[in-house]
Structure 1
Amino acid sequence: IETQNITRVSEFHLLGFSEDPDLHPLIFVLFLSMYLVTVLGNLLIILALRSDSHLHTPMYFFLCNLSLADMGLTSTTVPKAIVDVYTHSTVISYVGCLAQMSLFIIYGCMDDLILTVMAYDRFVAICHPLHYQVIMNPHRCGFLVSVTVVGSLLDSLLHNLMVLQVTCFKDVEISNFFCDPSQLLNLTCLDTIIHDIFVYFIGVVYAFLPMSALFFSYYKIISSILRVPSPGGKYKAFSTCGSHLTVVCLFYGTGLGVYLSSNFSLSLGEGAWASVVYTLVTPMLNPFIYSLRNRDIKGAISRLLSNTVPVPCIWGTS
């Protein structure tokens, strides 16, 4: 498609699953069912944590925010994809594409940063247990979550500024089922040097630094666990961060896998299905990972489903 001035670009085309129209009914049912499970599962986690005053602790406070980010990430991309598959449409307006990209970056970045904050929380709990209540006080926990929100908003703002200053696009077809930020930037007529500098800057700030903090935290955690003399003590210490480590591996493994694979020749359908893993599958599995491995959460969910009277959740006041 010929390069177009931005004033003439009123819409983009999402080609994620357009090559397989025969699969559209299956995709519709699959996406709708997985989306409902994701929203209900994360909502159940949030309600269970809010209803049990014994779970108003830093770890569950961060988990509550992670569930909110997961629901936001999925709700940003999947409902539009479900409607598109049902109506056999590929069109998204220019404004709608920028809005979807912005929300995707905000919730995706929040996921990334909250997982880093949760790693720090586990580091303090295992490596400095006597000072845990002092270090992870309500004010610091609120500050850490505020930093994740501000950092996510800043990331979204930077991407929007880059796209809005563009005077032309090379194409209007996006080979995914949502407005993927990396693909949208690749469609712009940005100078190569400016594009590369921006990509490397975002990569360092929002990928390398959080991952470095995660690796450092778990290096210290594993070192402390290995110094525990009894096998029972080691298991108990590791079980407190096992769920988080599983979610971290799932989130970063799928996310990095998709973006690293973009350097190779993936077909249109393969790229879209790869994106499904971290935009839908990972947020859907997170509630199961935490609830199945945690007796406290399972107990809170059971009491919630048994019509236990909820306790107002203002963490730090119980």
Structure 2
Amino acid sequence: MPEHLILLAPSANRVYAADAPRLAEAELRAMATGFELPDADVSATQVAGVDYLALRTSDVLTESALRVLSDLSATHAIFRREDDLLAPVPAQRRAPYPSDLVTIQKYQGKTNEQWTRLLLNVTAAATRAPGRLLDGTLKVLDPLCGRGTTLNIALSLGLDVTGIDLDSKDFQAYSAFIKTWMRQHRLKHTADESNLRTNGRARGKQLRVEVASSKDAHKDGDTQRVTYLSTDTTDIDGLLKPRTVDVIVTDTPYGVQHGSHGDRLARSPLELLGRALPQWQRLLRTGGAIGLSYNRHVAPRDELAALLSDNGLTPVDGPADEFRHRVDASIDRDLVVARKDA
């Protein structure tokens, strides 16, 4: 039975690093199911005292299967075991932009980048067309995007992405960052800020970015689009077209305060989701999925699942607590994924 070993990248977050191997194993199981890897057997293992994630399959891995392994949130390198030796396997990543797009921003309350990538991967794997994640056609929405970790993750994968957040300081911080970053990397781009209005009603502000990873990509029309709407995520009717999004991924309010987020993050996530989910659900294509990161201290899992079900979404079952991990004394983090089947 062919066996591949995945060497996990070190996490800059000390607390997250302790749980990273277990979370990566759960992520690979979800990806193996969603992408239908042949008879995949996933387990943690050690070679010469070094921790790896092992994947055993009934057949040789296809190129698309190698793409799945390459795109795991914590993959650092891939090897094929040959008796007592490990043969390096070239990673098959779609990574058109420099990695500092994701890592350079530092601020209080920033969500760990590996966790954000994991949430996107697991949610995409639950859709009816998970291959969109690999070919760059997946349309992503983060309706509580803050300073844009999800936006940058999606852009780094060559995906079009939309973010929504009411906090004007976060909007301005992200706008300043992405414009500066694109100029510093001398990327062909446009970035336009404007007032957001519908039927004469002021709705906030918007940032629309179109960028190409190279001059050749720009000539070929191979560009990515980032849209940031600075508006109330519970009042977005008329701002985005229905059934145009493949995945919705976001951090729900954790019930703690981080800098400028104050009032928004102190609100109950269940109260917020109760008002927002009907609008978010309408944006999802049939077969699309939503993935929510949440704090179990303030949002019981069964109540979240009930809210998703009440809004026409089918929670995706998985082993209990497989993604649960401690962030700090006030945050016991987990995720829940649901699909729009009709």
| TM bucket normalised to smaller | under 0.3
TM normalised by structure 2 equals 0.26
- Of Structure 1 and Structure 2, the greater helix share is in 1
- Of Structure 1 and Structure 2, the greater strand share is in 2
Please tell me whether Structure 1 or Structure 2 has the larger radius of gyration of its CA atoms.
Answer: 1
TM normalised by structure 1 equals 0.27
